[in-house]
Amino acid sequence: MTTAIPLRQPCPPGACDCGRDPLLDTPGADLRILFLTRAEEKRLIERLENLQSLSDLEHLQRRMFEQLGIRVNIAPGFNEVRTMRGIGINIAELPGLCRKTRAAIPAAIRRAMENRPQIAYELLNANDLLRDA
């Protein structure tokens, strides 16, 4: 007996621009993002909020891409980085990715960096903190 993998429930009409239904209607489309149910999303956000190091963050970035197709780019902003807001966290456009999830992932990463500033310091050092000096 085979069990179907649960897919994310659709957002209320007009509340989201994720494109879930057209994604389901497209033959051969990458449906991995729809496996991120609301419960799994909560687990992911919790895991992102509890990051321990930059290597932990990089590991989660790889896993999100491998399992869900979510590509998260994290880099210091072009100008000075005085707060966590100066670190750019961008999520590549992905059909089926809910608007709320698209906002929750960067917020969770920023909260983790605020709780553990050494992650931000490691990120700045890894991206050549003194590039213009």
Spell out the alpha helix ranges (H) of the chain.
20-25, 38-49, 54-68, 99-115, 117-126
Confidence of residue 72 (pLDDT cuts 50, 70, 90): very high
Task: Give the CA radius of gyration of the chain.
Answer: 17
What pLDDT, on a 0 to 100 scale, did the predictor assign at position 125?
A: 82
- DSSP 3-state assignment of 102? helix
Confidence of residue 12 (pLDDT cuts 50, 70, 90): confident
What pLDDT, on a 0 to 100 scale, did the predictor assign at position 86?
A: 73
Confidence of residue 3 (pLDDT cuts 50, 70, 90): low
Tens of pLDDT, residue by residue over 93-124, are 888 888 899 999 999 999 999 999 999 888 88
Q: At what angle do helices 54-68 and 117-126 cross, to 10 degrees?
A: 80
Annotated domain spans of the chain: 36-126
